[in-house]
């Protein structure tokens, strides 16, 4: 059983992001100088240009049968093709060690003229390309016009996926501290977390090597992406990034504006702050999403466990106290207050689970064991699917990829983090004040305090030379708060913002909002920029 507070940082591997101080000499010259400054930069390595991807079926025979049993559609999976593209580990040493990046492609389905490839990053960091293409995705119009392509970023999945460290020790340290208010924690209580986090960072450096960790960050993922674009035969990149993928896309626009065709950035992330500050802001986002749900519950649900927004916190406190006094069993595990908070937090990812949240809370209030048995298991399973390992099942393995190490390594590489645990405690104090039920994520980024020196990504970039970019934001997004979408749309000089007035984490391409999907489809296919200030109504 995972501790509830763990979900914010590890469970939300799909959303916690990277990006940091201005080390512009780490960027390539192809896109010109960054607004944050510029220094001498190495030319793009010629030896990696003009690669031909040798595509072959990803799933055949028994592997295909196993993938179908995991929930995939046979014809879709059978059509998927896999290949590799080589990139340098260190762009300053292009003749040195290389990494073979794993690619997945769903060929265009249309009989008409193919536009090119649409490269998709499903989020993360630490999420594999298989997650983006395991299931049939996007509209028939888009699938007809583009080859859909995704990839495992360096250090993830089949691109030399990183596995290191003992996260259980960090989990246990957080569990031990959970009973004490952050402002009351003394150094002796923080020591186990400090030790576990330091040991985790040291183990990753020993396992992966400092050279690998130094080059794992998003600044190099972006340079890899341009080599992938070239190998796909596209003069300019068409890209769809969800959550962390919005950072990849935004930094690509800054670095390679003249290699950019169209970028859709859905569920924008914050790129300037430390991991601790970003985790705090994310916790605030979860609280705002919770309040968004409660408002809907009170005003629109036939049965709502709350009488008002103002009284919902006290009502939840009572529900959580009942669970601690007599926790029900799900999958032979007790569900106490932290576990239930985690289940609710994960369910906020999907606005169509709001009814499930309300019914689960009502079941506890009414002490209705039958109703608990009805509503708890599905929420519990969904929470594990959302907050557990982020990779889609792969037919040749018994279990999906564990993304914790890759997520941590990329986050730590990308951000400038404090080295004193007191800074993390102070952020956790603010987190606890902002959200009584959905905090704890700050503690999970403490390993970054002890991480090996890395190449950090720039901040404050504006991509002034990029073509029009579309940012999509959801008002009730729990994991990437709507304010981050507003900030990114303002930061990027050529960006426009499309707003979805509902809840959930990201929205484009799910068939939920025709308003969002049609506008973005038109942009991707015809380069028609959505009307200024486009706002689409929620679908509940």
Which positions are catalytic?
243, 477, 505
Phi, psi of 126 (to 5 degrees): 105, 5
Judge residue 406's burial from the number of C-beta atoms within 10 Å of its C-beta, 0-12 exposed, 13-18 middle, 19 or more buried. buried
Task: Copy the structure tokens of residue 159.
Answer: 């691109």
Distance between CA atoms of residues 15 and 3, nearest Å: 19
> Which of 418, 444, 442 lies closest to 182 in space, CA to CA?
442
> Which of 13, 1, 4, 8 lies closest to 391 in space, CA to CA?
13
Gyration radius (Cα) of the chain, Å = 22
Name every residue whose Cβ is closer than 8 Å to that of residue 501 and which is 6 or more positions away in sequence: 475, 535, 536, 537, 538
> Which of 517, 540, 531, 534 lies closest to 240 in space, CA to CA?
517
Dihedral sign for Cα atoms in the order 510, 513, 514, 520: negative
> What CA–CA distances, in Å, run from 58 to 253, 474, 516?
30, 34, 31
Burial 87-111 (b: 16+ CB within 10 A, else e): bbbbbeebeeeebebbbbbbebeee
């Amino acid at each position: 059983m995972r501790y509830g507070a763990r979900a914010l940082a590890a469970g939300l591997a799909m959303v916690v992001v990277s990006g940091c101080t201005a080390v512009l000499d780490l960027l390539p010259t192809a896109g010109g100088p960054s607004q944050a400054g510029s220094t001498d930069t190495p030319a793009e390595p010629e030896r990696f240009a003009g690669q031909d991807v040798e595509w072959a079926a990803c799933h055949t025979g028994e592997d295909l049968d196993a993938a179908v049993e995991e929930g995939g559609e046979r014809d879709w999976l059978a059509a998927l093709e896999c290949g590799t593209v080589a990139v340098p580990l260190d762009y300053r040493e292009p003749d040195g060690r290389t990494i073979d990046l794993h690619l997945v492609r769903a060929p265009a389905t249309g009989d008409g003229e193919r536009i090119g490839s649409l490269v998709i990053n499903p989020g993360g960091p630490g999420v594999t390309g298989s997650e983006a293409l395991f299931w049939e995705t996007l509209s028939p119009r888009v699938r007809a016009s583009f080859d859909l392509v995704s990839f495992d970023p360096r250090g993830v999945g089949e691109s030399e996926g990183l596995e290191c460290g003992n996260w259980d020790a960090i989990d246990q340290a957080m569990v031990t501290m959970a009973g004490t208010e952050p402002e009351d924690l003394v150094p002796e209580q923080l020591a186990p977390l400090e030790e576990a986090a330091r040991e985790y960072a040291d183990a990753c450096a020993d396992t992966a090597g400092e050279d690998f960790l130094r080059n794992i960050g998003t600044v190099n993922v972006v340079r890899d992406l341009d080599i992938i674009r070239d190998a796909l035969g596209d003069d300019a990149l068409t890209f769809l990034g969800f959550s962390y993928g919005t950072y990849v896309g935004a930094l690509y626009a800054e670095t390679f504006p003249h290699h950019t065709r169209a970028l859709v950035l859905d569920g924008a992330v914050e790129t300037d702050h430390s991991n601790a500050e970003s985790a705090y802001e994310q916790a605030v986002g979860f609280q705002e999403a919770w309040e968004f749900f409660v408002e809907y519950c009170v005003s629109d649900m036939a049965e709502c466990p709350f009488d008002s927004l103002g009284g919902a916190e006290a009502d939840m406190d009572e529900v959580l106290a009942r669970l601690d006094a007599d926790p029900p069993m799900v999958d032979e595990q007790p569900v106490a207050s932290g576990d239930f908070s985690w289940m609710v937090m994960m369910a906020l990812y999907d606005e169509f689970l709001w009814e499930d949240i309300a019914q689960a809370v009502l079941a506890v209030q009414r002490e209705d064991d039958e109703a608990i048995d009805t509503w708890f298991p599905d929420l519990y399973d969904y929470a594990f699917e959302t907050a557990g390992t982020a990779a889609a099942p792969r037919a040749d393995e018994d279990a999906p990829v564990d993304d914790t190490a890759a997520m941590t390594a990329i986050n730590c590489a990308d951000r400038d983090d404090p080295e004193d645990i007191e800074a993390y405690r102070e952020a956790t104090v603010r987190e606890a004040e902002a959200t009584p039920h959905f905090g704890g994520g700050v503690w999970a980024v403490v390993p970054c305090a002890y991480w090996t020196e890395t190449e950090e990504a720039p901040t404050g970039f504006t991509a002034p030379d990029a073509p029009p970019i579309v940012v999509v934001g959801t008002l009730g997004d729990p994991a990437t708060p709507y304010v981050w979408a507003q900030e990114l749309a303002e930061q990027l000089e050529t960006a426009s913002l499309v707003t979805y007035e509902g809840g959930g984490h990201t929205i484009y391409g799910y068939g939920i909002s025709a308003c969002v999907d049609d506008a973005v489809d038109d942009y991707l296919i015809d380069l028609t920029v959505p009307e200024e200030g486009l706002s689409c109504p929620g679908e509940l």
